[in-house]
Amino acid sequence: MKRLVFMGTPDFSVPIFEALIRTEYEVVLAVTQPDRPKGRKKIMTPPPVKETAEKHHIPVLQPEKVRDEYKKILAYEPDIIITAAYGQILPKELLDVPEFGCINVHASLLPELRGGAPIHHAILQGKDETGITIMYMVEKLDAGDVIAKQTVPIAHSDHVGSLHDKLSKTGAQLLVGTLPRLFARQITPESQNESLATFASNIKREQEKIDWQNENGVIYNHIRGLHPWPVAFTTYNGEVMKIWWAEVDDNHYAGTPGEIVQIIDDEAFIVVCGNQKGVKIKEIQPAGKKRMTVKQYLQGSPDRIKMGVVLGD
């Protein structure tokens, strides 16, 4: 029986991990990031992969730096190491040992969108499709030879959360279907075309702010490309207002980009964008309050959203 070590950390990793557990192979170890403080009370919280491993009585290792503790992983004598959103670069000393190598399940169609936030960037860039790539790991970021690839369409209504779930499920299915052929040495890996490589770095705080000078389609992609985390924001009268959800409104409006030009039946408000078209804001989170619909926000005071106010100043 082949011995597998799985390395992953967030929710994206869990369906892939669970699919491996259901195979004929033996998952001998789960490697994940250390517990971290979470929430306002800073409660130490285990990563989802640790919770899954403990549920299935699989040993867990949580090195702060995998480079310092790679020998503990090799002690389990894995035939293959499989990673999915683990969060650390594996050292060469680890990559070289397993008989069938170290492979990674990545949430893009490589060589496009290498890096830590491929799902966000696929939507931010307005792509119609993305996918899953399984590749051999090398010392360069997401640059190894490709073992398998599968395309996943992106619907206009998709956001990071929905696409995340689709890709995680696809990754699990593709991996389970690929491993038997990999172990039978029936796969010829293909090198990536470096000239086509693009990168999807982690989202920085300044990238979350909406630029109302952009076209309304770009702003719509910005909002759904950061939903449900980390969430796009603007400012309203100088205070941060998160924008959880919106719709495209292709009617033409006069006004300054960022200006509120219409309130629709107390359920949404329309903001002018750089191309003089609009976005219809549906869900917000004002400073110091919870996420809510615009209707809920306006129920307490219809004057809370005012025509003519310019967002983002």
Local structure of residue 310 (DSSP, 8 states): B
Q: Which residues are CB-neighbours of 313 under 8 A, at least 6 positions away?
A: 235, 238, 258
* Residue-number span of the structural domain to which 39 is assigned: 3-196
pLDDT at residue number 302: 65
Average pLDDT over residues 46-57: 98
Residue 109 counted as an annotated binding residue: yes
Residue 13 counted as an annotated binding residue: no
pLDDT at residue number 186: 97
210 and 177 fall within a common domain: no
Which letter, b or e, does each residue of 206-226 get, where b requires 16 or more Cβ atoms within 10 Å of its Cβ?
ebbebebebbbbbbbbbbbbb
45 and 107 fall within a common domain: yes
Q: Is the pTM of this model over 0.85?
A: yes
Residue 52, domain member (yes or no): yes
Average pLDDT over residues 17-46: 95
Handedness of CA 164, 177, 81, 151 (dihedral sign): negative
Residue 201, domain member (yes or no): no
Average pLDDT over residues 258-280: 95
80 and 191 fall within a common domain: yes
29 and 128 fall within a common domain: yes
18 and 159 fall within a common domain: yes
Number of domains in the chain: 2
Residue 153 counted as an annotated binding residue: no
Residue 47, domain member (yes or no): yes
* pLDDT higher than 90, residue 313: no
Residue 157 counted as an annotated binding residue: no
How many percent of the chain have pLDDT more than 70?
99
214 and 297 fall within a common domain: yes
Angle between helices 13-21 and 160-183 (to 10 degrees): 30
> What is the tens place of the pLDDT at every residue in 121-146?
999 999 999 999 999 999 899 999 99
Residue 65, domain member (yes or no): yes
> What is the tens place of the pLDDT at every residue in 53-74?
999 999 999 999 999 999 999 9
137 and 265 fall within a common domain: no
Alpha carbon distance 261, 217 (integer Å) = 18
189 and 303 fall within a common domain: no
Per the CB < 8 A criterion, the answer to whether 179 and 171 are in contact is no
- Which CATH number is 230's domain given? 3.10.25.10
68 and 151 fall within a common domain: yes
Sheet holding 60-61, edge to edge: 60-61, 26-31, 3-8, 80-84, 102-106, 129-136, 146-153
94 and 119 fall within a common domain: yes
- Which CATH number is 104's domain given? 3.40.50.170
